[in-house]
Homo-oligomer: A and B are copies of this chain.
Amino acid sequence: MTEDPTPSGLLLRQGNPLGGRVAQAEMRASNMGLLLRHLRSQGGRSRAQLASETGLSKATISSLIAALAERGLVREGEPVRDGAVGRPGLTVTLDGTYVAGVGLQINVDYVALTAVTLTGTVVRESVLPVDVAHLGADIVLDRVATMLRRTLASLRESRTDVVGITVSPPGVIDYAAGALRFAPNLGWRNVPLTEALSRRLGADAPPVHLENDAKLAAVAEYDRMARDGIRDLLYLTGDVGVGAGIIAEGRLVRGWSGFSGEVGHLPLDPGLTPCNCGRRGCWETVVGLAAFLRSAVPEGDSLRDPARPIADRLLTLRARADAGDERTLAALAAIAERLATGLGILVDVLNPRMIVLGGYYGYFREYLLPALEAKLEARLIDEGCRTLLATSELGLTASALGGALLSLEHVFDDPTVVAGR
């Protein structure tokens, strides 16, 4: 059963309306997906357990498992006694060692690629410095295509089936058109990324999807946090641009046209600094990476040189902070002060369980979190709504990882996207 794309009724906490006309084959694919999700969330179990837990007949379960096993998505392992009389059953476990998703992150000055298997192993990871903001979309996409072709070829050699590629530009997605609407910090508008990349990759390549970078980083963090029962999470990118990925009750909040989480443009700078988006006084002009570098690094200092890798520059600044450098510490204190105002707003609107600060914020955990925690604590309305704060440990390529994970989700929607082996 698939979710109804246009339910006319009320919203619901649980359960979804049935879809329209669902063909038998689609029904079967959907049940395969449900079984796969069940194995992921509940862990390995016997056929008898699966039948009793899902309400599907044992014959149906057997047939679905055979179809999943043929695709390398499940395997049957050691015997399990589940209280039933008779022969012990074999445990059916989620597999997918040879099924991978790819995430491709395009940022202002680099491109990152991550491939993850269904079992959660990162099997490819690479970062390529590219002056994206100045080269123009065509040249950038040529390089991205080369990077992808190499990865796909090497995964093919190791007999791994890539089910999808999710590309994440730092901007807003037009999902229906498969295009990037607007990426202020690249200066790109209305770039048909899906078509442009698919054409370069050729007809044999896996399908290309698009998703916003902040949303994908939230997906990557959620994949870790959900294990601890966190279902409401906000991820804040800490780059030249600042954006939020919002997850509410385990679901990505995209907004009606993909513009959710454009928090970098909240009107929180009383100095009304001009922003790349066309407005003045946007939050990212005072808490973004460019603002931090401007205030932390004296003019003429080599750390202002955009040709030096950003990770090196941030590590140097971290070392300066640790050595007690006053200018660096003052810059961090100012960032914390201005971050707190915006985070307070996001807490009031969304009541997330956890806010994860990504990007450059992750380099300054000890200088930012205590100050932010104190400020949020001071404005707590009630004991019952405390938000946890963390910095991301996923570094600057969290969106590539999130893209790989989201690519894999298509397998759970329809396991028949994986070819039989």
Contacts and interface: CB of A to CB of B under 8 A. Distances in A.
Interface of A: 1-4, 6-22, 24, 27, 30, 33-35, 37-38, 40-42, 52-55, 172, 174, 181-182, 184, 219, 222-223, 226-227, 229-232, 244, 246-263, 265-267, 277-279, 341, 344-346, 348-353, 379, 381-382, 384-385, 405-406, 408-409, 412-413
Given A55-B1, A172-B384, A254-B249, A219 B10 contact: yes
B10 A409 contact: yes
Contact of A22 (B22, B55, B253): B55
B351 A255 contact: yes
A8 B351 CA distance: 21
A247 B11 contact: yes
B53 A20 contact: yes
A381 B278 contact: yes
Given A172-B384, A248-B251, A253-B253, 6 more contacts: A7-B37, A8-B227, A10-B406, A18-B38, A257-B385, A266-B349
A345 B323 CA distance: 38
Contacts of A16: 15-16, 37
A412 B22 CA distance: 21
B260 A351 contact: yes
Contacts of A40: 8-9, 17
Contacts of A7: 37, 41, 226, 250
Most chain-B Cβ atoms within 10 A of its Cβ — which of A34, A341, A351?
A: A351
A257 B249 CA distance: 11
Contact of A226 (B10, B18, B413): B10
Contacts of A1: 34, 54-55
A352 B15 contact: no
A382 B9 CA distance: 30
Contact of A54 (B22, B222, B232): B22
B229 A11 contact: no
Contact of A17 (B11, B37, B172, B265): B37
Contacts of A409: 10, 12-13
A411 to B, nearest CB: 11
Nearest to A3: B14
Contacts of A19: 53
5 contacts: A7-B41, A13-B252, A20-B53, A249-B253, A259-B348
A405 to B, nearest CB: 6
Contacts of A10: 219, 222-223, 226, 405-406, 408-409
A4 B181 CA distance: 35
Contacts of A259: 348, 351, 381-382, 384-385
B3 A412 contact: no
Given A181-B382, A350-B255, A9 B21 contact: no
Contacts of A252: 11, 13
Nearest to A388: B256
B15 A412 contact: yes
B3 A265 contact: no
Contact of A262 (B13, B348, B405, B408): B348
A384 B259 CA distance: 8
A268 to B, nearest CB: 9
B349 A349 contact: yes
Among A55, A244, A352, max chain B CB count under 10 A is at A55
Contacts of A262: 348-349, 351, 381, 385
B6 A229 contact: yes
Contacts of A408: 10
Contacts of A35: 18
Contacts of A263: 348-349
Contact of A249 (B38, B226, B232, B251): B251
Contacts of A53: 18-22
Given A7-B226, A222-B11, A266-B348, A256 B353 contact: yes
